[in-house]
Amino acid sequence: MLKFQDVYYTYPDGQCVLKGLSLHVPLGKKCALIGHNGCGKTTLFLHANGLLIPDSGEVYWKGKKIDYKQKTLQKWRQEVGIVFQNPEHQLIAPTITEELAFGLHNLRVEKSVINQLLQETMDDFSLHKWRDKPIHHLSLGQKKWLSLASVMIMKPSLLILDEPTAYLDRLQVERFMEKLNDIHQKGVTVFMATHDLDLVFQWADVVFVMHDGQIVMQGKPEEVFVQGERLKQFQIGVPLLAAVWNTLFPNERRIPRSIEEIKARMKV
């Protein structure tokens, strides 16, 4: 669906952050991106809808090489929605309705369609109760929820999230993840960067490990997290269950992901 091939990017201050990065986000999957602080995850996401342009290398969207023309960018940005780590950097309007309608107005969507999408999204994200609150009165968790709603109103086919569970308490994380699963079940491909390895293990179909501007490992969580020693080289740990499993069964090639599998493997 989204493909990066040998992408290099250097910030104007001279720091080279993407160093020949190649990656393929498969259609319809739940994908996770992990890597230590500063390895370039956000920079990679900024290349996923043309907010940054590679110095060299290619980016493909649905099999077509991106040409970075205005028309291509406009369509691409509508199809790839990004929820940034800090909602303060994402939300720009004073009220919830204006925030939700912002992207649609920019695309010159008809007023009646905007009103219908607003109604649907307010219902879908249960936003009616905050309707009259100024956005700056919302809590950080509520702002994160609104950021997700304001991205989903554009009906993207790829949803990218940078550290979606940062700033959320346990209940908010559960609610947020339930919503993400619901979004995914409706056919949206989801790609998230997170430091929460337990969450990755439980949730992802595919994990990409990033280190120093490149993808250095990828695969199913049960196959990636069995390689604890290799992950340590990239300053990444393993989920709690994987740590226990890798200690008990150091020669296994995969970690079970369900209680049934664990029971069967341990013959209990």
Ligand X SMILES: Nc1ncnc2c1ncn2[C@@H]1O[C@H](COP(=O)(O)OP(=O)(O)OP(=O)(O)O)[C@@H](O)[C@H]1O
C-alpha distances (whole Å) from 147 to each of 83, 174, 210, 259 are: 6, 17, 25, 34
Quick check: 38 binds ligand X (CB under 6 A)? yes
Quick check: 43 binds ligand X (CB under 6 A)? yes
Quick check: 258 binds ligand X (CB under 6 A)? no
Bridge partners of 159, per DSSP, are 81, 190
Query: Candidates 8-16, 124-132, 150-158, 257-265 — which segment interacts with ligand X by CB under 6 A?
Result: 8-16
Which CB, 39 or 160, lies closer to ligand X?
39
C-alpha distances (whole Å) from 121 to each of 77, 108, 257 are: 19, 18, 34
Chosen residue from 7, 23, 41, 54 binding ligand X by CB under 6 A:
41
The pair of three-digit structure tokens given for residue 179, joined into one six-digit string? 């919503």
| Residue 206 near residue 228, CB atoms below 8 Å | no
Quick check: 89 binds ligand X (CB under 6 A)? no
Residue 237 Cβ vs ligand X, minimum distance, rounded to whole Å: 14
Quick check: 47 binds ligand X (CB under 6 A)? no
Quick check: 17 binds ligand X (CB under 6 A)? yes
Which CB, 85 or 246, lies closer to ligand X?
85
Chosen residue from 42, 95, 157, 227 binding ligand X by CB under 6 A:
42
Which of 135, 17, 156 has the alpha carbon at shortest distance from 82?
156
Chosen residue from 11, 26, 116, 261 binding ligand X by CB under 6 A:
11
Separation between Cα atoms, residue 105 and residue 103, nearest integer Å: 5
Quick check: 40 binds ligand X (CB under 6 A)? yes
Quick check: 13 binds ligand X (CB under 6 A)? yes
Residue 205 Cβ vs ligand X, minimum distance, rounded to whole Å: 21
Which CB, 197 or 226, lies closer to ligand X?
197
Query: Candidates 40-48, 127-135, 167-175, 219-227 — which segment interacts with ligand X by CB under 6 A?
Result: 40-48
* Positions that interact with ligand X (CB under 6 A): 11, 13, 15, 17, 35, 37-43
